[in-house]
Structure 1
Amino acid sequence: MPLHVAKHPVGIESRVVMLKSMLNLESNDDVVMVGLWGQGGIGKTTLVKALYNSTFRQFEGSCFLANVQETSKGCKDLVTLQEILLKDTLLLQQRLEVSTVDKGEGKWFGNGSRIIITTRDKHLLTCQGIYQDHVYEVEALDDSQACELLSKHASQTHQIRIDLVNGALNYAKDVWESTLMKFSRSPNKNFNNVLKISYEGLDENEKEIFLHIACFFRGWKREYTKKILESCDLETTARFEILVKRSLIRIESDILEMHDLIQLMGKDIVNQECCDDPGRRSKLWLYDDVDEVLSNDKEDCVVKAIVLKLPEWTEMCIHPNAFTKMRRLRLVILHNLQDSFQGPLCLPKGLRWFEWPGCARRITGYSSGSMKLVGIDMSKASTTVVPKQFKDLQQLKYINFSYCKSLICIPDLSCTPHLEKLVLSYCENLVEAHASIAYLEKLRVLTLDGCSRLGVFPNVLKTKRLQRLHLTNCKNLERFPDIPHKLESLTLLSIEGTATKELLSSIENLVSLEKLNLSVCKNLTLLEVVRLNWNFSRIILVVPN
């Protein structure tokens, strides 16, 4: 007998046609395995039932095994499933006894056999030898199909006007937002149990990455998120792809995305760590929870990460010692938060990433000893926030103090040998760049755009890994530094709008340069550029006006 598919099987027929072509039913020369892959609840089982109904009569025997993952928790349960498979496909009156279990192989099946597998984990298909041309990604219904399905459910016996359906859909958007808010407070256990199947198959590192994305980084750029997570000792190189294959996240135009219900499931996992005390949870992202933890001096706080992005400037009174006793704290990102306390900011030794644009606090005290801070962003700060020395911040890779109007000089950075990116754009009162930046061996990006008073710059540029140097609109900068060796990494150089009077001959050592911007350099003539006798064929050259 055919299987029950759905009361209103909308959008299924065309998908069945596609899958039947992948099965190559006309051939009996080999065994074909096809995989249906997609996130939980997307309709994989419904689709495969329809495919089964459309094809099973062409075979001598057939079997549909439902809920395999849920019913196969151990070898004993797998044996039971194998016995059912053998009984149904061989048309036996009673089960065969299977004494041991081993993985299935295509060669065990007779030529002409067709095996269809549904899964949320794409890797399970590839490890069975089912490759891309035999993997079908199950996607959601398009808008017209969704409208049709809603219409069929809404009008059991009567016709319904399409404008009413559209009106219902618009109303449903508001109801959906309200429902999501309700689920965020009290998630549906049945939904979560279904969605958590993919999550529970992850290793601990992958679980942490997923929870960070669910709680904090949905909608963020992949590369930026990767820097933050890796600074917190989470290995992301292959893990994003694993989460994609498990149908837990999507990557769209380099942006991390996930389904609303999957995100709520991730947040609920964190909330269940301690329902009534946010200080006993590993991650905080709601204002009230962050306020409760940071406004008090808690001894037993286990928080590892705080990310709070507010839509507009909001005030919070942060306790002077709020951060120092958070020994497990690794990540702090605070956007649009104004602290009513003006004392010094003291950070814990284990903190890896600190991002607080517009911070009004002074970083004058650290926990004693060397810190593990990898990234610091205190752009748009209203006070002189840069420490006079960085001797306790030897692990720093990323510094952003752009738009800090009170910053006058770049301090000695020789104690930060791992620094890769230094951004000091639009520090309009910055007059001096310390000579140490010229010797940072791992520095890749140096951005000083808009530092209109900058006049003192290192005379010699010796950092060999520099890839991008931005000096746009440094109107006081008259001299470009000497480059005593071939700089094989630098691909972009912008000195647009500077007061540079000449290009030194050593600039020819920029052997990998791809773009050179010299526009609005009023003291530089086109003749000065041409006399360098460069091979301009490989360079985008923006010349003086």
Structure 2
Amino acid sequence: MASSLKSKRKYHVFLSFRGEDIRNNFLGHLYRALDQKGIYTYVDSKELRKGEQIDLALMKAIEESQIAIIVFSKDYASSWWCLEELVKIIDCKKERDLMVFPLFYKVEPRELRTPRPSNRDAMVKHESKYGKDSKVKRWEKALSDASYLSGWPLKDGDEAELIQKIVTEISTHLNRTLLHVAMHPVGIHSPMVTLKSMLNLESDDDVLMVGLWGQGGIGKTTLAKAVYNDIYNRFENSCFLMNVREVSKDCKDLVTLQEKLLFEILALKERLVVSNVDRGINLIQERLCHKKVLLILDDVNDLYQLHALVGEGKWLHNGSRIIVTTRDNHLLTCLGIDQDHVYKVRELNYNDARELFSKHAFPTHQNFMIRTDLVDRVLNHAKGLPLALEVLGSFLHGRRDYEWESALDDISTAPKKGINDVLKISYDGLEPKVKEIFLHIACLFKGWNSEYVKKVLDSCDLKAVIGLQILMERSLIKIEFGNIRMHDLIQLMGMDIVNQESDDPRRRSRLWQYDDENCAVKAILLEPPEPTEKCISPDAFTKMRMLRLLILHNIHDSVEGPICLPNGLRWFEWTGCACQIPEFSSIPKKLVGLNMREFNITEVIKQFKDFQNLKYINFSHCKSLVRMPDLSCTPNLEELDLRNCKDLVEAHKSIAYLNKLQVLNLEECSELSVFPNKLQSKNLRVLNLKNCTKFERFPDIPHELKALKELFLERTPIKGLPTSIENLVSLEYNCESLQNYGDSTTIHDFVRRGLTMADISSRYEVRFTLMHTHAHAHMHIDVDYTLDSVRGWILQ
């Protein structure tokens, strides 16, 4: 990899020259001027060389140099030694990215291509000695190639002035060349290959912008540096602007970045003075529009920074490349970078993570072993985050097993400062309500179903849809298979933010450990791994005026009588152990979500009066519940879940008139026999009556019920659907299966009486799955039918 080759280079400059011509005057002055600037320069001090074999150390010195200066003097070509150096230098330019600058000392560049008499005589002598073989031809080609390179001419001018110019330009090139990538650059080769492919370096058709996106500490800057080192010499000029977010805290600091950009790309002797940001924008547009440059903007967090430095990228000449590293994917979208040109930097795989950690954690001279299980604990904690692997590796460097054990116990509950400071930058840039969402997820909802969490957060007026999207764009969370995922270290950072609110847990905004004392907070999640008995007094929560979320799992209240909840509560969830419906302190109630699944109660009589904001009710798996509560005082109810309420006999008539009800789930309510005769919930989308084995009569469907899309009637004894089924113009499928036990005649009759009564073929096509269970053969035959095919089958 080119960047790794460059990192091993020993010399800044290699000087190639013919000593008899210039050693004691011009060359000596040039060498001293370079040395005074701290430029490490290789000069061959040997005057007389014996034998025909060029010194291998000299060849190695060329390979280990960043820049080669070839001083072409009048008798340069007469030295076969100089010509061998020249061939090696030209080869290294092509193969090892060596920068080469010719200095034409009282000769013209064209004289290398069409030699003047002295050079011509020299080449004739070489031919007579070596013959017209490949060696002489290589020398001639190297001379010709070098003559076309950009360099410095010197005829009768001021040598001192030229030397100062050379030193300044060499200094400038060295300043913009290699960047320190990392102490141990592990796992970056494959990402470099992908990123270089995105950059399409062979094309000069347009200016191309590429984004490097990922969470803090993931290695965006490291990767950008490595790519910069690998490709910068393909461009006329280049600039790597580090820490744009940190440097540009106000407009004055942004001016500093503009000045640095102009200084580095224009290779100026001193900085241009930019009076303000707008003046800087004009200068960048005017001065850089003709230059093909490589520009890297590191750690950008605001669109204004990009607009002040590159506009939309059109200020530069075609062929230029701009790489932007950021934690915010939406910022790249706003800049017009399509997702095909956004590279998401990911965590290291296990092998690379182990290698990086080992390089930081284990000294080469360490003569004792660390247990494998302790190393695995660290790797599991860091989960491939390079920053964490480096910080933890350095912290554990040289320590013994017992020290590792003690440290790991602490690390698992409290983040290391070096890691936390980097990760917290992403949190600090969030808007207040998005911060609230982040802290809720870190402390309460990591791993929960995203749709469920949206309901909970929306109940607290937190606008979950856009909030979760922003957190994903900032790489703070991911949603995988419907669940919210968060890196363990980011979660620890969020928990640490809450813990830092106060030394007293009762003054913190969130509580999530089941063995903590009850306190006045915004959110409480108590979820011990096993059912736990807690003594909760009836008024334990009444003074918690800021409490918005209260979630209790596996908590059994040992005190008789219902608990009283604060009026400001938006989401209440008590599952598994509850035996009393809670009461509220005053009206109007603000509760949006109520989840009391698996609680032990037979009926709910009066608790739902004045619940104007209630949207979600879950009484599923309440196997002793006989009667559904009167819900006429919950006009905003959207979802009612009564699954698996085995003893439920009656569905209260109020559900027929809930105009905002969207989901009604009565699956596995095997005793349900009383149901409203008519459904008028015009927004109802899902009606699930699976396995309601005593549900015989399907309700009438008014013309207004147009929203119903999903209707589940599997294993119900319904003998037919009403003619009003033709009103279901939005129905996508009627049921997963309509099962009827009997022979095919009964099924024919069912279809004939149910479907052919409604002439709906002109409105939409319905897909039915009719599952016929043959009573004698015990076979199930599943067939999908469109409406037309069912009709055709009936007519036969």
Fold shared per TM-score above 0.5: yes
Q: 2:674 aligns with which of 444, 456, 463?
A: 456
Q: Which residue of 2 aligns with 1:263?
A: 491
Structure 2 CA distance for aligned equivalents of residues 84 and 141 of structure 1: 33
Structure 2 CA distance for aligned equivalents of residues 17 and 517 of structure 1: 49
Decide which moves more: 525-534 or 238-247: 525-534
Q: Report Cα offsets for 1:243-287 as digits up to 9, x if no partner.
A: 111111112122211111111111111111112x22211111111
Cα 1:526/1:324, change in 2 over 3 Å: same
SS at match of 2:631: coil
Q: Which residue of 1 aligns with 2:214?
A: 38
Cα 1:499/1:19, change in 2 over 3 Å: closer
Q: Which residue of 2 aligns with 1:280?
A: 507
Structure 2 CA distance for aligned equivalents of residues 206 and 261 of structure 1: 19
Whether contact under 8 Å (2:381, 2:412) holds in the other structure is no
Q: Which residue of 2 aligns with 1:298?
A: none
The residue type equivalent to 2:518 in the other structure is V
SS at match of 2:191: helix
The residue type equivalent to 1:110 in the other structure is H
Q: 1:529 aligns with which of 750, 755, 764?
A: 750
Cα 1:274/1:159, change in 2 over 3 Å: closer
How many matched pairs?
533
Whether contact under 8 Å (2:603, 2:626) holds in the other structure is no
Cα 1:181/1:542, change in 2 over 3 Å: farther
Q: Matches of residues 244-393 of structure 1 in structure 2 within 5 Å?
A: 244-275=472-503, 277-289=504-516, 292-293=517-518, 301=520, 303-363=521-581, 365-384=583-602, 386-393=604-611
SS at match of 1:141: coil
Q: Report Cα offsets for 1:47-82 as digits up to 9, x if no partner.
A: 111111111222332222222222222222222222
Q: 2:323 aligns with which of 95, 101, 116?
A: 116
Structure 2 CA distance for aligned equivalents of residues 17 and 475 of structure 1: 62
Long gaps (5+) in structure 2: 1-173, 279-307, 384-404, 774-796
Decide which moves more: 312-321 or 363-372: 363-372
Q: Which residue of 2 aligns with 1:53?
A: 229
Q: Which residue of 1 aligns with 2:353?
A: 146
Over the matched positions of the two proteins, sequence identity in percent amounts to: 59
Q: Which residue of 2 aligns with 1:196?
A: 424
Q: Which residue of 1 aligns with 2:82?
A: none
The residue type equivalent to 2:749 in the other structure is E
Q: 2:628 aligns with which of 406, 410, 426?
A: 410
Q: Which residue of 2 aligns with 1:86?
A: 262
Structure 2 CA distance for aligned equivalents of residues 119 and 477 of structure 1: 58
Structure 2 CA distance for aligned equivalents of residues 175 and 449 of structure 1: 42
SS at match of 2:581: strand
Q: Report Cα offsets for 1:198-243 as digits up to 9, x if no partner.
A: 1111111111111111111111111111111001101122222211
Cα 1:29/1:506, change in 2 over 3 Å: closer
Cα 1:414/1:363, change in 2 over 3 Å: same
| TM-score using structure 1 length | 0.90
Shift of 1:90: 1.4
Long gaps (5+) in structure 1: 295-300
Q: Matches of residues 100-111 of structure 1 in structure 2 within 5 Å?
A: 100-102=276-278, 103-104=308-309, 105=311, 106-111=313-318
Q: Report Cα offsets for 1:309-340 as digits up to 9, x if no partner.
A: 22211111112201211111111111111111
Cα 1:195/1:528, change in 2 over 3 Å: same
Shift of 1:33: 2.2
Whether contact under 8 Å (1:323, 1:346) holds in the other structure is yes
Mapped pair 1:213 → 2:432? no
Bigger Rg, structure 1 or 2: 2
Decide which moves more: 534-543 or 415-424: 534-543
Structure 2 CA distance for aligned equivalents of residues 39 and 465 of structure 1: 41
Structure 2 CA distance for aligned equivalents of residues 390 and 61 of structure 1: 72
Structure 1 CA distance for aligned equivalents of residues 262 and 671 of structure 2: 81
Q: Matches of residues 513-528 of structure 1 in structure 2 within 5 Å?
A: 513=731, 514-517=733-736, 519-522=738-741, 525-528=746-749
Decide which moves more: 501-510 or 345-354: 501-510
SS at match of 1:516: coil
Structure 2 CA distance for aligned equivalents of residues 389 and 147 of structure 1: 57
Cα 1:184/1:477, change in 2 over 3 Å: same
Shift of 1:398: 0.8
| TM-score using structure 2 length | 0.63
Decide which moves more: 201-210 or 517-526: 517-526
Q: Which residue of 1 aligns with 2:239?
A: 63
Shift of 1:24: 2.8
The residue type equivalent to 1:14 in the other structure is S
Shift of 1:428: 2.0
Structure 2 CA distance for aligned equivalents of residues 244 and 175 of structure 1: 21
Cα 1:356/1:167, change in 2 over 3 Å: closer
Q: Which one scores higher on RCO, CA 8 angstroms, separation ≥ 6? A: 1
Cα 1:387/1:232, change in 2 over 3 Å: farther
Cα 1:184/1:287, change in 2 over 3 Å: farther
Structure 1 CA distance for aligned equivalents of residues 420 and 361 of structure 2: 27
Q: Report Cα offsets for 1:6-60 as digits up to 9, x if no partner.
A: 2332322232222223223333443222221111111111111111111122233
Q: 2:457 aligns with which of 222, 229, 232?
A: 229
